[in-house]
Amino acid sequence: MADHRILLLGPPGAGKGTQATRLTAEYDLDHITTGDALRQNKEMETEYGTPGEYMDAGELVPDPVVNEIVVAALEDADGFVLDGYPRNLDQAEFLSEETDLDHVVFLDVPEDVLVERLTGRRVCDDCGATYHVEFDRPEEAGVCDECGGELVQREDDTEDTVRERLRVYRENTEPVVEHYREEGTLVEVSGEGAPDDVFERLRDVIEG
Ligand code: AP5
Ligand code: MG
Ligand code: ZN
């Protein structure tokens, strides 16, 4: 059976990263995520400035920078979960020239839930594992269960920046969701409920 090529779409906080981590483990896929790649290179000098300047304001990093990340990652991957890309119609068109997709899934979560999830998110400074102060607590507050590292808040997870990211999402990324919907490839899945329940829904889509 061919490897799965999965695109996970959804607003900030929908659980793309949470579910991508599960999918990659379950189906032995690569996790291609522009957000993590950019965070690891926040200070990198490009002709547009550094990625961090855009990210900390909640704005999109210029297309050439993210397209390059995706091309390199796709070259190394057979099956993959793509998370955080494409985020505008130009990126979607670029992607369509680079690869076919087997599943395009939209994680649907209402906006008030998104703000709660994002402002309460904590991530491990060492291994990147994700927690939530209320919904997914570590055994010891502030300490990573996986590696003992320190849990920190992402710089763009403050309430004001979260609101701006949601605005940027509505303006740039909702048209991408609409594009796949019109194309007839979009499968919509509720992203509400416990992560395990959401994962079961995704499994049904992928194996269905
Ligand atoms: P990126 O890192 O991609 O952020 P995002 O799209 O805003 O999405 P998040 O990572 O915030 O949310 P998620 O859906 O992964 O949620 P998670 O699983 O962590 O991008 C960051 C920035 O990089 C952008 O703003 C931009 O500047 C730049 N960038 C990235 N890609 C780009 C591109 N292609 N073009 C241009 N610029 C780009 O879950 C969130 C929280 O909820 C966690 O605390 C988790 O524990 C909790 N949670 C998850 N699932 C559940 C559940 N079912 N129930 C309860 N809590 C849950
Ligand atoms: Mg994420
Ligand atoms: Zn850790």
Q: What is the CATH number of the domain that holds 103?
A: 3.40.50.300
Q: The tokens 């957000």 sit on which residue?
A: 35
**Average pLDDT rounded to a whole number, residues 152-164:** 97
- From 54, 60, 119, 137, the mutation candidate for ligand 1 (largest count of ligand atoms within 8 A of CB) is 60
| pTM of the shown model | 0.96
> 2 pLDDT band (50/70/90 cuts)?
low
Residues paired with 43 in a beta bridge? none
What distance in Å separates the CA atoms of residue 91 and residue 63, rounded to the nearest whole number?
7
The answer on whether 84 is annotated among ligand-binding residues is yes
What distance in Å separates the CA atoms of residue 148 and residue 194, rounded to the nearest whole number?
25
Residues paired with 32 in a beta bridge? 82
Contacts 24+ apart (CB under 8 A), 183-187: 185/101, 185/104, 186/9, 186/104, 186/105, 186/106, 187/103, 187/104, 187/105, 187/106
Residue 42 lies in a domain: no
Query: CA-CA-CA-CA torsion for 192, 193, 194, 198, nearest 10 degrees?
Result: -60
- The answer to whether 198 and 19 are in contact (CB under 8 A) is yes
Supply the pLDDT for residue 3: 83
Domain count, the chain: 1
Atom in ligand 1 nearest the alpha carbon of residue 168: 25
Residue 43 lies in a domain: no
The answer on whether 25 is annotated among ligand-binding residues is no
CA–centroid distance, residue 45 to ligand 1 (Å):
24
Residue 134 lies in a domain: yes
Q: What is the pLDDT of residues 40-86, one digit of tens each?
A: 999 999 999 999 999 999 999 999 999 999 999 999 999 999 999 99
Q: What is the pLDDT of residues 81-106, one digit of tens each?
A: 999 999 999 999 999 999 999 999 99
The verdict on whether 154 is a catalytic residue reads yes
What distance in Å separates the CA atoms of residue 43 and residue 33, rounded to the nearest whole number?
18
What distance in Å separates the CA atoms of residue 193 and residue 181, rounded to the nearest whole number?
24
Residue 45 lies in a domain: no
Residue 35 lies in a domain: no
- Cβ atoms within 10 Å of 207's Cβ, excluding its own: 8
Q: What is the pLDDT of residues 171-205, one digit of tens each?
A: 999 999 999 999 999 999 999 999 999 999 999 99
- The verdict on the CB of residue 11 being under 6 Å from ligand 1 is no
Domain that holds residue 90: 5-29+77-207
